[in-house]
Structure 1
């Protein structure tokens, strides 16, 4: 510290000497007393500085902490969220498969003697049908084709099938018949019978079989002869409309009407008996009327009158539709309605 003060005094003296101006210029004079005053003030100032520095806390510079770089990912364009369409899951309802009946047949074709074939009185002929086993049981030789109703035409009561017939297999089966002696229209109805004696036919609702239908003597007999009726029932035909010779244009609409008398010994009740389409050409205008209730109870000896909306085929020809009064699967009475369609 003392060395510093000495050096300060020396600097002051030197400074004073350097201010001696050249000859001719006036220079202010500094006295020794003035110099001492300045030295005193300098020493006091230095003392205050030392006192201040002793109370100052030195702050050392700190190394900057190492900062890990922050990686800024590039901003990606927002991805569009796809619209998820609602998926409609269909409701699947279980449908119980239809079970085939064990014994059932299907008519395929008339191999010989088509409907309304004209024959001479007492003419012998062989009628052959092609039928299919449409049930689920195999037919054995114990199965038979039996006469069921109508005119027997001098035929046998039954004929056995000649072979085993598997389901869906077809067979041709024949009966030898003879035309009646009188002119007219005749029809005989035949059914199948299994080895247990149970009859069956081509329908699940009406015990419908197959038939042979002929015209004896003339294509247009003056007095039609209606077929006989099944065992267990009987009726008489009172009237049929339209008459057999009435001609219609293709697709013409009309009413079928017929009246029969209950000649059986039982009452045809509306609760137990129906009117049904049982054979021939279906000419019903409303197909839901293939079977419907009797309109009223019919006592033995009383008439039953029926009217049905119909439409004839759209092409020319002679067509017959057979109706029946039926109970369950049995036909108690049958009626034919025949039309002629011409352009």
Structure 2
């Protein structure tokens, strides 16, 4: 924050809007010299609960030499078996994603995928993730349980360094539809049986 002059601090202290589009534009304007694009501005605002002053502080923290050593992560794809199918209430299911180390440094030990908001689905709130080298990809699985009521529910997860509790990378959203006639659990069970049978056949 040494490079932020008193005029800049005065500017954002006088801003009182809560409209997200306005906040994005204001952050871009205040950090005009940094050529901040809209996606990056949304990222810093979202990680700070859309608090403009906190977003600016986070931006300068991330631009520091120490922060540049923090891990980087990119969500490659959702690899959930039966993705898009509804699921019955109080039913166990698994969400899966392929993620990549998109940085130039290897991830440290102690990385996990952490539940950070939305509807908690079951007891699981943290899943260990293996350390990845630059450009390496792994699949992350989370075993969950659907809520007791029918409807659409969302849960929010993010990568975290356990030792420092620093979050990084794309926010991962889980969105499910709970319905009495849901088929997701059956689809996943059939896939698991098919995979097990295939592996047994290869061993014979």
TM category (shorter chain) comes to 0.5 to 0.7
Q: Distance in 1 between matches of 2:142 and 2:46?
A: 23
Q: Distance in 1 between matches of 2:174 and 2:142?
A: 11
For structure 1, which runs of at least 5 residues remain unmatched after alignment? Answer: 1-140, 146-151, 160-177, 179-187, 200-230
Q: With structure 2 as the length reference, what TM-score do the two structures score?
A: 0.52
Tell me the residue number matched to 1:290.
Answer: 125
RMSD: 3.7
Q: CA deviation at 1:142?
A: 2.9
Structure with more contact order per residue of length (Cα contacts < 8 Å, sep ≥ 6):
2
Pair 312,143 (structure 1): closer, same or farther in 2 beyond 3 Å: farther
Q: Distance in 2 between matches of 1:246 and 1:153?
A: 36
Q: CA contact under 8 A between 2:73 and 2:99: conserved in structure 1?
A: no
Q: CA deviation at 1:314?
A: 0.9
Aligned mate of 1:268, from 107, 110, 113: 107
Q: CA contact under 8 A between 2:107 and 2:132: conserved in structure 1?
A: yes
Aligned mate of 1:336, from 155, 173, 184: 173
Q: Distance in 1 between matches of 2:53 and 2:174?
A: 32
Whether 2:115 is the aligned partner of 1:277: answer yes
Larger gyration radius, structure 1 or structure 2: 1
Pair 196,290 (structure 1): closer, same or farther in 2 beyond 3 Å: closer
Aligned mate of 1:303, from 134, 137, 148: 137
Q: CA contact under 8 A between 1:259 and 1:306: conserved in structure 2?
A: yes
Q: Distance in 2 between matches of 1:196 and 1:277?
A: 21
Q: Distance in 2 between matches of 1:267 and 1:144?
A: 40
Q: Distance in 1 between matches of 2:55 and 2:153?
A: 36
Tell me the residue number matched to 2:35.
Answer: none
Q: CA deviation at 1:235?
A: 0.7
Q: CA contact under 8 A between 1:280 and 1:322: conserved in structure 2?
A: yes
Q: Deviations over 1:223-250 (max 9, x none)?
A: xxxxxxxx97341323331555211111
Query: Any residues of structure 2 matched to 1:1-343 within 5 Å, and which?
Result: 142=13, 155-158=24-27, 189-191=46-48, 192=51, 194=53, 198-199=57-58, 233-271=72-110, 273-283=111-121, 285-286=122-123, 289-294=124-129, 296-327=130-161, 328-343=165-180
Q: With structure 1 as the length reference, what TM-score do the two structures score?
A: 0.33
Q: CA deviation at 1:279?
A: 2.6
SS at match of 2:113: strand
Q: CA deviation at 1:323?
A: 2.0
Write 1 or 2 for the structure with the bigger share of helix.
Answer: 2
Q: CA contact under 8 A between 2:72 and 2:169: conserved in structure 1?
A: yes
Pair 157,282 (structure 1): closer, same or farther in 2 beyond 3 Å: farther
Write 1 or 2 for the structure with the bigger share of strand.
Answer: 1
Q: Distance in 1 between matches of 2:166 and 2:90?
A: 31
Q: How many residues align?
A: 134
Pair 336,153 (structure 1): closer, same or farther in 2 beyond 3 Å: farther
Q: CA contact under 8 A between 1:239 and 1:260: conserved in structure 2?
A: no
